Amino acid sequence: MGQLAFVDEDRLFDGHCIRFKGIDRDQEVTCGITIAALKECDRDLPRHGLIPAEVFLHSFEKRIIPIHDAARTKYSRGEFETEGAVRIMVRRRDLAS
């Protein structure tokens, strides 16, 4: 298993997580970060109510390096999701300092 590289322009908020693509050689790996993880690491995000997708995407952009690092770590350890389209999901515990 190699190391993931990320496609910067490919992000999607699906209501539950922000999905982003990782590439390992010629293999595409769908990654994601949970909304709970974003709220935990970004104290500026509202805790309640309807929050526009753009706000979550902006939070993702502000924390992109630790998010990508967490996804790479999980990928290198083989910590894949057992079901669903997202293969690597970054959660609150993965961003704990």
Determine what percent of the chain falls in helix, strand and coil, rounding each to the nearest 5: 35, 30, 35
What CATH number does the domain containing 64 carry? 3.30.160.140
pLDDT digits (tens, 9 = 90+) for 40-71: 888 888 888 888 999 999 999 999 999 999 99
Amino acid identity for residue 72 in this structure:
R
Residue 41, domain extent? 5-95
Task: Copy the structure tokens of residue 47.
Answer: 């805790």
Q: Place 97 in a pLDDT band, splitting at 50, 70 and 90.
A: low
Say how many domains are in the chain: 1
Relative orientation angle of helices 53-62 and 64-77, to the nearest 10 degrees: 80
Q: Which of 2, 20, 3 is nearest to 11 (CA)?
A: 20
pTM: 0.91
